Amino acid sequence: ADLRCTINAIFFAIVQIAVAAKFQCMKQLTVGRHLTSPSTVVSSPRRLSLQSITVRKEQGGVLTLAAVMESTNSFAALCAVGDDETVATSGVSKVEKSTESSTSSQDGPEKQQRSGPRKLRNPLCWIDLEMTGLDIEKDTIIEVACIMTDGDLKIQVQGPEAAIHQDDSVLASMNDWCKEHHGKSGLTQRVRDSKRTMAEVEEELLGFISQHADENMAQLAGNSVHVDRMFLLKHMPRVVAYLNYRIVDVSSIKELARRWFPIAYKKAPRKTLAHTALSDIRESIEELKYYRTAVFKSPNQCK
Helices (H) and strands (E) in the chain, counts: 15, 5
- Catalytic residue positions? 275
pLDDT in tens, 90-124: 333 333 333 333 333 344 444 444 556 789 999 99
Instruction: Give 160's DSSP letter.
Output: E
92 vs 252, residue with greater confidence: 252
pLDDT in tens, 55-80: 443 344 554 444 444 444 544 544 44
Exposed, middle or buried by CB within 10 Å (0-12, 13-18, 19+), for 298? exposed
**In the prediction, which pLDDT does 127 show?**
98
Q: What angle do CA 200, 279, 175 make, to 5 degrees?
A: 75
**Sequence letter at residue 169:** S
User: Torsions phi, psi of 127, nearest 5?
Assistant: -125, 135
Radius of gyration over every alpha carbon of the chain, rounded to an integer in angstroms = 27
pTM score: 0.63
| 141: confidence class by pLDDT, cuts 50, 70, 90 | very high
DSSP 208-258: HHHHHS-TTTPEEEETTHHHHHHHHHHH-HHHHHHS-S-EEEHHHHHHHHH
| 288: confidence class by pLDDT, cuts 50, 70, 90 | very high
**In the prediction, which pLDDT does 65 show?**
47
pLDDT of 38 over the 50 cut? no
Please, are residues 128 and 281 in contact by the beta-carbon 8 Å criterion? yes
**Across the beta sheet with 156-163, what order do the strands follow?**
156-163, 141-149, 124-131, 219-222, 247-249
Mark 151-187 as b/e (b = at least 16 C-beta within 10 Å): eeeebbbebbbbbbbbeeeebebbeeebeebbeebeb
pLDDT in tens, 239-250: 999 999 999 999
The structural domains of the chain, ordered by start, are 2-115 (no CATH), 124-302 (3.30.420.10)
